Amino acid sequence: MKMESWPLPARLFTLRNRRDMRVSISEHGAALVSWWAPDRYGRMADVLLGYQDDSEYADNNACLGAVVQRAGGAPRLHAPSWRGELDVGGAGLRLRPADLHGAGPGLAELEVRYDLDDEGCLSVTYHAVADSPALVNLSTHACFNLNGGQADVGDHMLQIDADRFLAIDAGGALRDTEVSGTPFDFRRPAPIGPRLNWPHEQIGVAGGFDHAYHVGAGSGIPRPVATIHDPGSGRRLQVSTTEAGLHFYSGNRLAGVAGRGAAPYARHAGFCLEAGASRVQRDGARAAGLLLGPREVYRHTTVYRVSLQP
């Protein structure tokens, strides 16, 4: 009898800190399931979109919270079944060799770690090793709503440290573009909702924001790239990353997704700020790819910090 081939029930790991925060991670898709955090008044709410039942993360059509591969435009669900373990301060999840092929060809190892500290920082660290050339651009499709779902994210005030973004041309080709003079200019904090109403063809192309920003050169240490806060609850999310790219998605296709709430999600019910490799090159052309050679190691750390807007 081969016990290991039996599908083991996926487990849910919960990280806690001294601010009463609780972050849950599922073995299904290594998904970030929920993040309970206090608002200005100490009221706890889940700032992540997700499903009612953990089993729903097994197919996860909307990729909510899942570790994804961003090769083309849309996020692709990576692999459904991870095995994880809880240790001091965090949880580490790996793909078993048998499941690695689902993550794409060429990978020998793949691990994601989630660590929560007392300052409200959730570090997401990705680690991959290839045995033959592999395309790797990992990210987490964590879909946030800082007011806990009381309203959509239109009033959230977003700030992204980026001068350039990738406009989407007809046929899906990407074009390196300056943010200035466009609704994509979030160098100073601006509400998402009104920006969706600025007259600009790129908003029409994606039905909102679904674009990659270039947030500087990649580095070994995470550096702050974006901040977003909700005026009502006072909750703030800060994003730091080692990566050069940040994909901003304003929840344009969330309408009808059956999540945790009584009613299905509405359009713009959440937003994603996904760090990953940038395809903006100095010459404006698309990078050849994010190819990992044999025995090469891929490392990426993104830190999400939830706190209060001072």
Partner 1 sequence: MSMPKTRRIALLFNGNKIFDREVITGIADYLSSTRTHWDLFLEEDFRLRLSGIEDWQGDGIIADFDDPTVAATLANARVPLVATGGSYEDPADYPASVPYVATDNFKIIKLAYEHLIEAGLRSFALFSLPEARENRWAQEREKAFMALMRRDRMEPAVFRGQSTRAHTWDEAVREQIAWLHSLPKPVGIVAVTDARARQLLQACTLAGIAVPEQVAIIGIDNDPLARILTRIPMSSVIQGAQEMGRTAAHLLDQMLHGVRLPNTRILVPPSGINVLASSKHEPAKNPHVMRARHFIRQYACQGIKTDQVAGYVGISRSSLESHFRQELGYSVHDEILRLRLNAAVAILKQGDCHLAEVALKCGFTSSQYMHSVFKRELGCSPRSYQERLRSSSDAQEATIG
Q: Which stretch binds partner 1 (CB under 8 A): 56-64, 133-141, 149-157, 259-267?
A: 149-157
Task: Figure out which of the listed residues 55, 180, 219, 281 binds partner 1, where binding follows CB under 8 A.
Answer: 180
Task: Figure out which of the listed residues 7, 171, 199, 220 binds partner 1, where binding follows CB under 8 A.
Answer: 199
Say whether residue 194 binds partner 1 (CB under 8 A): yes
Could you tell me how many helices (H) and strands (E) the chain has, helices first? Answer: 3, 23
DSSP code per residue over 108-150:
EEEEEEEEE-TTSEEEEEEEEEESS-EE--EEE---B-TTTTS
Task: Figure out which of the listed residues 73, 89, 154, 216 binds partner 1, where binding follows CB under 8 A.
Answer: 154
Shortest Å distance, C-beta 214 to partner 1:
16
CB-CB contact of 244 with 277 (8 Å): yes
- Nearest residue to 301 via CA among 211, 240, 235: 240
For residue 308, the cross-strand partners are 235
Shortest Å distance, C-beta 97 to partner 1:
38
Length of the chain: 310
Pairing of strands 190-191, 174-178: unpaired
Shortest Å distance, C-beta 269 to partner 1:
17
Q: Whose Cβ is closer to partner 1: residue 42's or residue 72's?
A: 42
- Can you list the alpha helix ranges (DSSP code H) found in the chain? 97-100, 192-196, 201-206
CA distance to 47, 108, 150, 151, 240, per residue, from 232 (Å):
13, 46, 10, 10, 24
For residue 304, the cross-strand partners are 122, 239
Shortest Å distance, C-beta 45 to partner 1:
6
Task: Figure out which of the listed residues 109, 111, 117, 185 binds partner 1, where binding follows CB under 8 A.
Answer: 185
Task: Figure out which of the listed residues 102, 105, 133, 189 binds partner 1, where binding follows CB under 8 A.
Answer: 189
Say whether residue 204 binds partner 1 (CB under 8 A): no
Size of the site for partner 1 (CB under 8 A): 33
Shortest Å distance, C-beta 239 to partner 1:
19
Q: Which of residues 32-91 bind partner 1 (CB under 8 A)?
A: 36, 38-46
Report the b/e string of 106-131 with b at 16+ CB within 10 A. Answer: bbeebbbbbbbbeebbbbbbbbbbbe
Shortest Å distance, C-beta 189 to partner 1:
7
Task: Figure out which of the listed residues 31, 47, 122, 157 binds partner 1, where binding follows CB under 8 A.
Answer: 157
Residue type, 46: D
Task: Figure out which of the listed residues 17, 81, 252, 309 binds partner 1, where binding follows CB under 8 A.
Answer: 309
For residue 101, the cross-strand partners are none
Shortest Å distance, C-beta 236 to partner 1:
10
CB-CB contact of 107 with 100 (8 Å): yes
Say whether residue 187 binds partner 1 (CB under 8 A): yes
Q: Tokens 């020998």: give the residue.
A: 108
Taking CB under 8 A as the rule, which mask of x and - marks residues 92-111 in contact with partner 1?
A: --------------------
Taking CB under 8 A as the rule, which mask of x and - marks residues 231-260 in contact with partner 1?
A: xx-x--------------------------
Q: Which residues bind partner 1 (CB under 8 A)?
A: 20, 36, 38-46, 154-155, 157, 180-181, 183, 185, 187-191, 193-194, 197-199, 229, 231-232, 234, 309
